Amino acid sequence: MSKTISIVGTGYVGLTTAAILSNIGYKVYTIDVDQKKIDTIKSGKSFFYEDGLDDFVKKGIDSGNLIPTLSYEESIPTSDIVFSCVGTPDREDGSPNLDYIFSAAQSVAQYAKQNIIFVQKSTVPVGTGRKVIEFIKNKNHDLQFSYISNPEFLAEGSAVFDTLNIDRLVIGGDNTEALEEVQKVFETVDTFVKSLDTTKFAGYAAFYKSGKEVINSTPFIERVIRTNLESAELIKVTANAFLALKISFANSIAKLCDETNADVNEVMHGVGADHRIGKAFLYAGLGWGGGCFPKDVSGLVNVAKNYDIEMDIMNAAVDANDSMIDYMIHKMESLLGNLEGKKIAVLGLSFKPGTSDVRKSQSIKLANKLVYKKAHLSAFDPQAMEEAQKTLDVSVSLKENINDTIKDADAVIIATEWKEFLNYNWSDAKSLMSGKLIVDARNRLNKKELKNLGFDYIGIGR
């Protein structure tokens, strides 16, 4: 691979993309402003948990193709393509903070060689790309460059798999040659996937065991979606908003199921079997969180407001999501009575399984609300204990395993559906707990089996 690539930002998107491209043979600079993160990557590992990623990082570092750096000056001038994968955290008013987007653009304006391609992978509000183009032009009148929007669809917990197994490549921009170049980079990823030898490299195991279709049989070219700049920007947030909407819809139906003896899992199985609807993202439960859905939904509402468009449908999705915490607590109170002094064990703190990320985690919101209700909490998460301590109430007693967490508990909540919890032998819990309530806040346990074991069971909509 003759191309040199710079990737600004070492988060889930940036580091995963950098590590994989370096494994394919590109020379890849992975850039961050945080010395600690750069040092960790230099030592051959990721600073966050993501199944299989460390192996790719290690191989990239060992080969010399993956070059972690703090310096734009070292990386950008020799790069043919610069990917911006920086964070866009939300501001108090719900609009995304684009400071990092413009500092990545600044680095291009200042250090890039002629004819550089600047690819925006970060999620930005529609219309941002044009502003970035103007910004770079104003900073450097002489620079010839192309700007491409290439939204990322990887999900945390399956970042490696999603990056390797491209289900769609959305690229938007005005310059056909630049679109072609970016497309070629991802075509090499698709070719790489097909040549993988799983026996050589432990990291690939995560990719193969994920259970999804391993090799996408649709020809690569048919998975490429070329659009104008604004459409590409809008595809990303619209997709996330729609998925959030689906979940909130399932949660609203779940409440009706609770009143009518219907089982929401059965209902959504039947509804999702209609291929026009699809089964994905119809799991009712505690609701959606993470670094993407909440931010993208509020970002969409916000950008629409700038054009005097009220996104009432998305506001309703947010309200439905927010309501799930109190809904769950209310259900618990109906069985346990006043929660003051009750011993409650919370299993799972990350916003979803497979990640150490706790941003906007509904599980942590639930735990903190239970503390507010004066319950006594113990908690455990297989990966997110360290992260959780930043937002979890200090009174929560953190444990090292399931058994220690549920010991003497009046109730156990499965707040995040880690497979460790789903595979747990619940008959063991009986003698450890002092009560007998299992709260299945993600609807993934076998209700009948638990009832047969003598537990009381609460799900959401079943």
Point out the residues that are catalytic. Answer: 292
Residue 381 and residue 402 in contact, taking contact as beta carbons nearer than 8 Å: no
Q: Considering the complex, state which of residue 141 and residue 275 has its C-beta at the smaller distance from ligand UGA.
A: 275
Q: Interface with ligand UGA includes 443 (CB under 6 A)? A: no
Instruction: Measure the CA–CA gap between 296 and 239, rounded to whole angstroms.
Output: 10
Nearest residue to 196 via CA among 205, 209, 187, 186: 205
Check residue 127 and report its DSSP letter: T
CA distances from 403 to 342, 378, 412, 431 (A): 18, 11, 11, 10
Using the rule CB under 6 A, is 365 a contact of ligand UGA?
no
Q: Residue 411: helix, strand or coil by DSSP?
A: strand
Contact call for residue 300 and ligand UGA (CB under 6 A): no
Which of residues 179 and 415 has its CB atom nearest to ligand UGA in the complex? Answer: 415
Neighbours of 351 (CB within 10 A): 28
Q: In this chain, which of 293, 418, 421, 424 binds ligand UGA, going by CB under 6 A? A: 293
Does 292 contact ligand UGA by CB under 6 A?
Answer: yes
Residue 248: what residue type? S
Q: Which of 48, 161, 283, 421 binds ligand UGA (CB under 6 A)?
A: 283
355 contacts 156 by C-beta, under 8 angstroms: yes
Q: Which lies closer to ligand UGA via its Cβ, residue 3 or residue 331? A: 331
Q: Does 351 bind ligand UGA (CB under 6 A)?
A: yes
State the DSSP code for 68: E
Hey, which residues between 139 and 178 contact ligand UGA (CB under 6 A)? 152-156
* Total site size for ligand UGA, rule CB under 6 A: 21
The answer to whether 288 contacts ligand UGA (rule: CB under 6 A) is yes
Alpha-carbon span 172 to 170, nearest angstrom: 7
* Window contacting ligand UGA (CB under 6 A); options: 181-189, 213-221, 290-298, 326-334: 290-298
Question: What does the alpha-carbon distance between residue 129 and residue 259 come to, in Å, rounded to a whole number?
Answer: 48
- Binding mask of the shown chain, residues 214 to 253, with x at each position contacting ligand UGA by CB under 6 A: --------------------------x--x---x------
Between 99-111 and 128-139, two packed helices, what is the crossing angle to 10 degrees? 40
Pick the binder of ligand UGA from 52, 96, 173, 289 (CB under 6 A): 289
Nearest partner of 372 among 412, 334, 344, judged by Cα: 344
Please tell me whether residue 53 binds ligand UGA under the rule CB under 6 A: no
Q: Which two tokens stand for residue 168?
A: 């769609």
C-beta of 433: minimal distance to ligand UGA in Å?
Answer: 25
Q: Which is nearer to ligand UGA, 352 or 365 (CB)?
A: 352
Residue 224, beta-bridge partner list: 169
Q: Which is nearer to ligand UGA, 46 or 240 (CB)?
A: 240
Residue whose tokens read 């009832």: 451
Q: Give the footprint of ligand UGA on residues 105-134 (CB under 6 A).
A: 123
For ligand UGA, the binding residues (CB under 6 A) are 123, 152-156, 240, 243, 247, 281-283, 285, 287-290, 292-293, 351-352
